[in-house]
């Protein structure tokens, strides 16, 4: 079975390709990119007319909470992967802070088998660093890796003990397994619910100081440097963190880092409404931090943009700010927020922005994704980067619509998403462009 996606602007950050052309897929793999109209479709080929649209590798999101097992009222593997597809995301790495946590072989296998049966995008389960995410004893990393795990994290909770974190890096390092440590020093962050700045003080919200996050990042960078092991820092939100990661990279420390679209789109000014959808961990800091994050993305200090998609039900958000669960349902807004905040503003080219959502996260996870190279899996997003749209939280495919971006006017509309050559999402208005010859 062959598919032609024609008349597109084809962008493949992995090879630096950005030109008008046609993308050919065959039997679930990328066949080739040809100049527009170079070859005509044959009988039985499927043809997608992508005139005016960008065709790129499907997005790879290395930080997603799918909530299954245990919190299926927030999200399931079925609903979360459909939300991913709607957002142009074709591969997700899902965090293990489920109930039970993903810290053993049986749970990994359960997630993988559900993903195979009910998921519409590729799912890479991240397993726990420590048993039960308790920070006491390392999980069986070798066994977890043999089951297909690419990374370990106790996300939501830091590995508090420096000694245990050092061992985790060493064990994982021997296996070439990625360690992602939630960077938070609880004695400093305490019961803080917002960035400790002018806004939190004015509104009477307890604060999270930047040092509460940065002390843990500093510690982990020291441990990664000393052990020579690979470390990934999730949801980087502050200027100081960007500076330390930049310096560590310059010294050759094997560190990679991600930030999230909400830190690019919001500052702590947004706390003024007390909208609990703004409550996220780490909290949204100030404009000076946002500028540093953008500079970090521009110079490669920050490798990836990942959503930290954290669905929560209305029950957990409709309450006073300090009691609401932290997190933002992000899969269906990430591409638009990146296009609006980075690309439309001229801060980053479309190719470079997409690199941080495709080839870079795939390289961090060491998965063969995020490229349109011939022979690669035919995971593709087709989107209009210029389309203006108003975000409608109530229309989210995700089971949860906890977003601070409802009613925001943004750029970018996903027209279709393909996984292994199969259409897993299409915008109803785009349906007529998909046909058989």
Binding site for ligand DOR (CB under 6 A): 65, 97, 155-156, 182, 280-281, 308, 310, 326-327
308 is catalytic: yes
In whole angstroms, how close is the CB of 328 to Zn ion at the nearest point? Answer: 10
Residue (277 or 384) nearer to ligand DOR, CB: 277
In whole angstroms, how close is the CB of 250 to ligand DOR at the nearest point? Answer: 28
For helices 210-227 and 162-175, the axis angle rounded to 10 degrees is 50
In whole angstroms, how close is the CB of 260 to Zn ion at the nearest point? Answer: 9
Query: Cα–Cα distance between 255 and 303 in angstroms, integer?
Result: 10
**12, 103, 308, 379: which is the annotated catalytic residue?**
308
Sheet holding 89-94, edge to edge: 59-64, 89-94, 122-125
In whole angstroms, how close is the CB of 158 to Zn ion at the nearest point? Answer: 12
Which one of Zn ion, ligand DOR, none is in contact with 148 (Cβ closer than 5 to 8 A by kind)?
Answer: none
Which one of Zn ion, ligand DOR, none is in contact with 421 (Cβ closer than 5 to 8 A by kind)?
Answer: none
Query: Cα–Cα distance between 90 and 380 in angstroms, integer?
Result: 7
Can residue 154 be called a binding residue for Zn ion (CB under 5 A)? Answer: no
Contacts with Zn ion in 341-380 (CB under 5 A)?
Answer: none
* Residue from 184, 258, 308, 377 binding Zn ion (CB under 5 A): 308
Residue (12 or 155) nearer to Zn ion, CB: 155
Which one of ligand DOR, Zn ion, none is in contact with 326 (Cβ closer than 5 to 8 A by kind)?
Answer: ligand DOR
Can residue 155 be called a binding residue for Zn ion (CB under 5 A)? Answer: yes
Residue (155 or 377) nearer to ligand DOR, CB: 155
> How many residues of this chain interact with Zn ion, rule: CB under 5 A?
2
> Sign of torsion, CA 184 190 195 197?
negative
In whole angstroms, how close is the CB of 155 to ligand DOR at the nearest point? Answer: 5
Would you name the residues annotated as active-site residues? Answer: 308
Residues in contact with Zn ion by CB under 5 A are 155, 308
């Amino acid at each position: 079975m062959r598919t032609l996606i024609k008349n597109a602007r084809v962008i493949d950050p992995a090879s630096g390709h950005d030109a008008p052309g046609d993308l050919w897929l065959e039997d679930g793999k990328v066949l080739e990119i040809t100049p527009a109209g170079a070859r005509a479709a044959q009988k039985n080929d499927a043809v997608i007319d992508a005139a005016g649209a960008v065709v790129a590798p499907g997005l790879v999101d290395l930080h997603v909470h799918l909530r299954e097992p245990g919190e299926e009222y927030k999200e399931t593997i079925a609903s979360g992967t459909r939300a991913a597809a709607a957002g142009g995301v074709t591969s997700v790495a899902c965090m293990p802070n489920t109930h039970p946590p993903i810290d053993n072989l049986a749970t990994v296998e359960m997630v993988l088998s559900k993903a195979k049966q009910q998921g519409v995008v590729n799912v890479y389960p991240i397993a726990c660093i420590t048993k039960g995410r308790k920070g006491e004893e390392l999980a069986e990393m070798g066994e977890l890796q043999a089951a297909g795990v690419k990374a370990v994290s106790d996300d939501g909770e830091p590995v508090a003990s420096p000694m245990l974190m050092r061992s985790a890096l060493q064990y994982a390092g021997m296996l070439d397994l990625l360690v992602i440590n939630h960077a938070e020093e609880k004695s400093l962050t305490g019961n803080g619910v917002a960035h400790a700045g002018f806004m939190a003080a004015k509104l009477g919200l307890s604060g999270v100081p930047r040092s509460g996050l940065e002390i843990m990042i500093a510690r982990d960078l020291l441990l990664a440097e000393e052990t020579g092991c690979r470390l990934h820092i999730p949801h980087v939100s502050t200027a100081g963190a960007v500076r330390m990661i930049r310096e560590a990279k310059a010294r050759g420390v094997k560190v990679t880092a991600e930030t999230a679209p909400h830190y690019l789109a919001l500052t702590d000014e947004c706390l003024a409404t007390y909208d609990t959808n703004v409550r996220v961990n780490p909290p949204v800091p100030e404009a000076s931090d946002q500028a540093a994050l953008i500079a970090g993305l521009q110079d490669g200090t920050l490798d990836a943009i990942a959503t930290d998609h954290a669905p929560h039900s209305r029950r957990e958000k409709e309450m006073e700010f300090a009691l609401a669960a932290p997190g933002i349902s992000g899969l269906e807004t990430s591409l638009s927020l990146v296009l609006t905040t980075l690309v439309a503003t001229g801060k980053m080219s479309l190719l470079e922005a997409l690199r941080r959502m495709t080839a870079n996260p795939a390289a961090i996870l060491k998965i063969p994704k995020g490229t349109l190279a011939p022979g690669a899996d035919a995971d593709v997003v087709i989107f209009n980067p210029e389309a203006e749209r108003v975000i409608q939280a109530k229309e989210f495919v995700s089971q949860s619509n906890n977003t601070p971006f409802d009613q925001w006017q943004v750029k970018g509309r996903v027209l279709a998403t393909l996984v292994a050559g199969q259409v897993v999402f299409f915008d109803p208005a785009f349906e007529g462009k998909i046909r058989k010859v």
